[in-house]
Amino acid sequence: MRNIVKHDGTIVVDAWQVLEHPAEGDSLALPEGPCLVPAELWLAGREHFVGNEQVGLWLDSHEEPELIADHIHQLPLIAVNFPKFSDGRGYSSARLLRERFGYRGELRAIGDVLLDQLQFMKRCGFDSYALRPDKDISKAPRCLNFFSNAYQAATDNDEPLFRRRGEFPVAATA
Amino acid sequence: MYVYDEHDRQLLAERVAQFRDQTDRALAGELSEDEFLPLRLQNGLYVQRLAPMLRICVPYGMMRSGQLRRLARITRDYDKGYAHFTTRQNVQLNWPALEDVPDILAELAEVEMHANQTSGNCIRNTTTDQFAGVQADEITDPRPYCEIIRQWSTYHPEFAFLPRKFKVAVNASEHSDRAAIQIHDIGLQMVRNEAGELGFRVHVGGGLGRTPMVGPVIRDFIPEHDLLTYLEAILRVYNRYGRRDNKYKARIKILVKALTPEGFAERVEAEWAHIKDSPTHLTRDAIDRMKGFFTEPAYKALQDNPPALATPRSESKAFDNWIRRNVNSHKQPGYAIVTLTMKKTGTPPGNVTDRQLEQIADVADQYSFGEVRVTHEQNVVLADVRQDQLFELWQAIRPMGFATANLNTLTDIICCPGGDYCALANAKSIPVAESIQRRFDDLDFLYDLGNIDLNISGCMNACGHHHVGHIGVLGVDKKGEEYYQISLGGASQHDAAIGKILGPSFARDDMPQVIEKIINVYVDNRTEEEEFLDTYRRIGIAPFKERVYA
């Protein structure tokens, strides 16, 4: 069980476990309770997993969301891994899952998830965040909401600011 | 010039508050050095050889006089009373204290300035031609598009952790390219298609650094309304597929080369097909609204070449030289474009004191509608000066040190801060610039030599753009000693080219003499109408090699 930050800043305890790739030659052992399996293993065992609300998958940062595009409606939860917080591929993966493939279920950021990236993650469509345990989770709500507005469209807002500005202010030409 | 509304002000205030919070947490030990690094970089803060360095953004080089005065005050209150104009049209402070940076950013925000994304692996300040909007041979004013790109790229949630830094430049002149777009990650050349519609030719994958490349064209025409969706497609392909395993192979140029320009273009087109009709597609209203900020100032109906200009020119050779070198023609009759040169011998190129910043603000108010532009050659432009006030302006700026009539000559050197300031540098660059300026101190000889770009970088990161100097100088480290490698034949305009390395490098003390030998080969071989670059292109590198290594 661990604390998970939700996109609205609430903190919940949940039981989803992230399963690592099994060692060479070993098979994947499903634990009790809900779990996230590596995407390629989920795909390999898809017939077995489909319909199981206790089994979701996680994509690593180099894995293309296109891999699972045809199956996203069969998944109770998808996670995207940030092996290092400075690896920004997961932001594109999230937007594609949401905006291109229409995934509406829970999308979780896992791995090196820190406070100062939470709002970017939220904007790209992540709605839950497994904050790295050494970070102060009480600061997450503030860090999710540093900005009250945004210039560009993203998953959270399909109206870029240029579509929301008022009439041209005459005084501005002075 | 763009003016903030309540949205811009609020976003910037929130950014300042965010960085204050981040700095507090870093100082309290809640953020590791690694974790704080990209946060401070994206707020312009480097940790340098001797102190932190703060790079303040000047979007596409435009500033108002009030902003200059605020910069002057900040250099006095928080720094050592001077600042540095960079080769990306920005301003750097060399000695701020880390704990003061949130206050400096708050002071900047009061005058609609910031240090957003001036460093880090994100989309950097968009640059353009310093003569934008005032030259005759322009497709259209590129600045509204630069501001549109600035807003789109500011705090972009998907592209804050790219494989590497990312620089966009826009040019709208048909015959010149002062923005050097072909050595940028994305270079946008404004064009009209056969139907007369406005758009951009898109170059991707240019850049300097360790692997200098001229950016190939991946699309001949993208309509103006599609600007942001197309940029988003390019950035998404780069964010997903650019290399992250080796920082020296992480720029987009490496990806473009690996996929070939055609292969890269195909991926971009495939991505773009999905998003071209998304809400990021620019509306007519949005473009027109932005153009409304970049209207002409209140020009008076004046004649070209008035007596107040012609008479002093005929009486003063020094004034006439300055007009010929440092003043450019303007689209509006009776007006001129003046470049204030920040290249006085003995002063590091691009460095200005707090007092000089205020003096620039004063002359901008008095002679040029209160606005200036910073150039990537590290000079400052007054874009709208009345021709009948040029003589008065020249007299005013001579004692300030801005009237050295050497624009585009051998001594108008582009030079990075180098080993005197920068932690990355292999060698000092400023003393090399100064020794060359001292060797070539005869203005008549400089004019006779014509246009020569001499660019100096203290290391491979190439902030001094040495690859595209007609003469490029690169500081290298040889067993702990500072040496300098020379390249010839680089160019940054429409004829962009990467210079060829001349041969083994030289000790610093030898540099003025080596440059002199190179110049002499040009002087001995040129035809009457040839500039340095023309002669080089005709005779090749061999005669230079022979003379220098004889």
Domain ranges of chain B: 6-110, 134-291, 307-397, 414-548
Q: What's the pLDDT score for residue B423?
A: 81
Residue B422 CA to residue A103 CA, distance in Å, equals: 47
> In this structure, what DSSP letter does residue A174 have?
-
| A134/B contact by beta carbon, under 8 A | no
CB nearest to B162's CB, from A88, A135, A162? A88
Residues of A with Cβ-Cβ distance to B21 under 8 angstroms: 142, 146
Measured in angstroms, the CA of B9 and the nearest CA of chain A are apart by 11
> In this structure, what DSSP letter does residue B417 have?
-
β-bridge mates for residue B210, sequence order? none
The dihedral over CA atoms of A50, A55, A59, A65, expressed in degrees to the nearest 10, equals 30
Element (H or E) spanning A173, and its range?
Answer: none
Q: What's the pLDDT score for residue A170?
A: 44
Instruction: Give the mutation candidate from B32, B122, B161 for the A interface (greatest A CB count, under 10 A).
Output: B161
CB contact under 8 Å between A88 and B158, yes or no, is: yes
The yes-or-no verdict on residue A174 having pLDDT over 50 is no
| A142/B contact by beta carbon, under 8 A | yes
Residues of B with Cβ-Cβ distance to A131 under 8 angstroms: none
The pLDDT confidence band at residue A173, using thresholds 50, 70 and 90, is very low
> What is the full DSSP assignment across B459-518?
STT-TT-GGGSSEEEEEEEETTEEEEEEEE--B-STT-BPPEE-SS-EEGGGHHHHHHHH
Which residue is associated with the tokens 């083994």?
Answer: B504
In the CATH scheme, what is the code of domain B307-397? 3.90.480.20
Backbone angles phi, psi at B164, to 5 degrees: -160, 175
CB nearest to A124's CB, from B11, B158, B244? B158
Residue of chain B minimizing CA distance to A169:
B5
| B11/A contact by beta carbon, under 8 A | yes
Residues of A with Cβ-Cβ distance to B274 under 8 angstroms: 100
Query: Do residues A97 and A103 touch, judged by C-beta distance below 8 A?
Result: yes
> How many Cβ contacts (< 8 angstroms) between chains A and B?
122
Answer whether B134-291 and B307-397 agree in fold: no
CB contact under 8 Å between B278 and A172, yes or no, is: no
CB contact under 8 Å between B280 and A153, yes or no, is: yes
CB contact under 8 Å between A168 and B292, yes or no, is: yes
Query: Do residues B429 and B457 touch, judged by C-beta distance below 8 A?
Result: yes
| B158/A contact by beta carbon, under 8 A | yes
- Render pLDDT for A21-30 as a digit per residue (tens, 0 to 9): 988 888 888 8
Q: What's the pLDDT score for residue A28?
A: 84
Query: Do residues B354 and B82 touch, judged by C-beta distance below 8 A?
Result: yes
| B193/A contact by beta carbon, under 8 A | no
Q: Within 13 Å and on the Cβ side, how many CA atoms surround B353?
A: 8
Residues of chain B with pLDDT under 70: 48-50
CB contact under 8 Å between A149 and B158, yes or no, is: no
| Residue of B464, A95, B318 whose CA lies nearest to B474 | B464
The pLDDT confidence band at residue A148, using thresholds 50, 70 and 90, is very high
Instruction: Give the mutation candidate from B18, B123, B158, B236 for the A interface (greatest A CB count, under 10 A).
Output: B158
Backbone angles phi, psi at B383, to 5 degrees: -85, -15
Total-model pTM: 0.93
| Residue of A122, A127, A129 whose CA lies nearest to A154 | A122
Give me Rg for the CA atoms of chain B: 23
- Chain B (98-137) residues lying within 8 Å, Cβ to Cβ, of chain A: 121
The yes-or-no verdict on residue A166 having pLDDT over 80 is no
| Residue of A140, A154, A133 whose CA lies nearest to A5 | A140
Residue of chain A minimizing CA distance to B151:
A151
Q: What's the pLDDT score for residue A171?
A: 45
Measured in angstroms, the CA of B73 and the nearest CA of chain A are apart by 24
Residue of chain A minimizing CA distance to B369:
A174
> Three-state SS for B216?
coil
Residue B34 CA to residue B420 CA, distance in Å, equals: 26
At the second CATH level, the architecture of B6-110 is Alpha-Beta Complex (3.90)
- Render pLDDT for A78-90 as a digit per residue (tens, 0 to 9): 999 999 999 999 9
Measured in angstroms, the CA of B157 and the nearest CA of chain A are apart by 4
ipTM of the complex: 0.95
Backbone angles phi, psi at B479, to 5 degrees: 50, 45
With residues binned 3-state (H G I as helix, E B as strand, rest as coil), the percentages for chain B, rounded to 5, are 40, 20, 40
The arithmetic mean of pLDDT across residues A162-172, rounded, is: 67
Query: Do residues A150 and B153 touch, judged by C-beta distance below 8 A?
Result: no
Question: What are B269's two structure tokens?
Answer: 């087109």
**B134-291, which class in CATH?**
alpha beta
Measured in angstroms, the CA of A158 and the nearest CA of chain B are apart by 6
CB nearest to A92's CB, from B39, B154, B236? B236
The yes-or-no verdict on residue A127 having pLDDT over 70 is yes
Q: Which of A67-76, A91-100, A139-148, B84-93 has the lowest mean pLDDT?
A: B84-93
